[in-house]
Chains A and B, each alone.
Chain A
C-alpha cells in the first residue's frame, strides 16, 4: 500500500547552485567562527571566583543556568522548527549549524560550572531554573510560537527575539564582571557566544524579511503588530526576571537600559525601526567597552566633541582585491 503514496523526490544539496547568496555568506562566517569551550582557559578564573560574595556567586550561577535554558530551547526546538520552513536547502544547512552551535553554547555553561562551582550549587541552580516563574514564562512564550504548524513568520519573530533580546539580561552580568576585571576568561567565552548570537539573529531576521516581502499589505501589518506586541509581552517578563535577579546587587536599572538597547537591535534585525529612545538606552559605557574592547579608542570625528577633520596618510595595500 505504502508504495502508492506519492512522495517528493529526495534531493541532494548542491552548494554550486546557491539561490540566496546570504546562505553561503552566513555559512562561511559561522564555520569560521566555530569554537569549543575547551579552548578557553576557564580555570584561570578560579581565584577571581573566590573573591565574589555568596550572593554574587549564586546570582552568576543562576544567570548562566537561565542562559543554558534558552540555548537548550534554541538547539533542540527553535532551530529545528525553523528548518521545517526553510525555502532553500542551504538555509536548512545553516540552521543545522545554528542548532549545533546552540548545543555548544549550552554545554559551555556546564564547563564554566564544573570549573568554578560545587555540584550541590549547580544542582540547586538547575532546580531553580525549573521553578522560576519568570524564566519559565519566557521559555513558554517562545515555545508557543515554535509549536508545529504555527505561522513561519511568527516563528522567525520569536526566534529573532530569543537570539537578539532575551539573552541579554544574562549576558549583562559577565560583561559587568569583566569591566571590573573579574571572571575575565569566562567573559572571553561569553563574547564568543555573543558574536555567534549576532549572526544567528541577523540571519533569522533576514529570512523573516524575505518572507514578509511576499505577503499582502494587510498580512504585513498584522505580522508587524504581532512582533511589537510579542516584544512588549517579553519585555514585561524580562523586567520582572531582571528585578528578581539583580535588585539584590543594585544593578536592575542598568540592566534594563541594556535590555532596551538590545530590543532595538532585535527589531532592526527584523527590518523594523528601533522603539526605545536614546534616553533609555544609554548603557553604562564600561559595559559597552566590555562588549567591544578597543572599538571606541579612536575617537571618530562625529562623536568626539571638538575633534577636527584631519586627513591621514594612506597605506600601501597587499590584498589582491585592492588595486591601489
Chain B
C-alpha cells in the first residue's frame, strides 16, 4: 500500500505528507506517476466560487489513467473550512467519480491531531484490506 499526493507551490499538502513520515509519490504537473499497487490519494481542494474545478488539474490527469485509478483505495482531502460547504470538496468529487470513500479531510497543512488520526486510519485501512484479500 502506498500514498500519492498533489501539492501546489503553496506546499501545504507537501508539508502534511512530510509530517506523516510515510513514503509517498508526488504528482507533479508534468508527468504523473503511474500507480501499480493499491494506494491512497491526498489532494488539496481548489474550487471556484460555484464549487467547480475542485480537483486540481494534475490530479485529474493522474486519475485519467485507468490502471492507476483501478488501484485507488480512497482519498484524503485538504482544504480550509472558511470555504464553507466547499470545505474539502475535492474529496467528495473524487469519491463520487471513482467509487472510493473519502477517508478524511484536514485544513491547510494539518494539525498534530490530523497526523495521528491519518496514521492510525491508514493502518486500520491496510489491515482491513489485507484481511479481505486473504
Contacts from A to B (Cβ < 8 Å): 21-22, 25, 28-29, 32-33, 191, 194-195, 197-198, 202, 205-206, 209, 264-265, 268-269, 271, 273-274, 277-278, 281, 288, 291-295, 298, 300-303, 308-315, 317, 321-324
Contacts and interface: CB of A to CB of B under 8 A. Distances in A.
Given A198-B80, A301-B104, 18 more contacts: A33-B49, A194-B84, A197-B82, A268-B108, A274-B111, A278-B113, A293-B85, A294-B85, A301-B101, A301-B103, A302-B76, A302-B104, A302-B124, A312-B96, A312-B99, A314-B96, A322-B64, A324-B69
Interface in B1-30: 8-12, 15
Contacts of A300: 91, 101-105
Nearest to B10: A206
Nearest to A281: B111
A281 B111 CA distance: 10
Contacts of B98: 314
B12 to A, nearest CB: 7
Closest 7 CB pairs of A and B: A302-B121, A314-B99, A198-B82, A278-B113, A32-B49, A268-B108, A302-B104
Nearest to A289: B81
- In terms of DSSP, what is the predominant structure of the interface of chain A? loop
A265 B101 contact: no
B95 to A, nearest CB: 6
Contacts of A298: 92, 102
Contacts of A288: 81
A229 B118 CA distance: 31
A87 B113 CA distance: 36
Contacts of B102: 298, 300-301
B66 interface: yes
Given A268-B109, A303-B117, A324-B69, A291 B81 contact: yes
Contact of B9 (A32, A195, A206, A295): A206
Contacts of A295: 81, 84-85, 87-88, 105
Given A268-B12, A301-B74, A293 B111 contact: no
Nearest to B77: A300
A205 B9 CA distance: 12
Nearest to B96: A315
Contacts of A313: 99
9 contacts: A25-B46, A195-B82, A271-B15, A274-B112, A292-B82, A300-B101, A300-B105, A301-B103, A311-B99
A324 B98 CA distance: 9
B77 to A, nearest CB: 9
B57 A321 contact: yes
A265 B107 contact: yes
Nearest to A303: B104
A298 B11 CA distance: 27
B83 A324 contact: no
A202 B120 contact: no
A271 B14 CA distance: 11
Given A268-B108, A269-B108, A298-B92, A191 B100 contact: no
B60 A302 contact: no
Contacts of B69: 324
A229 to B, nearest CB: 21
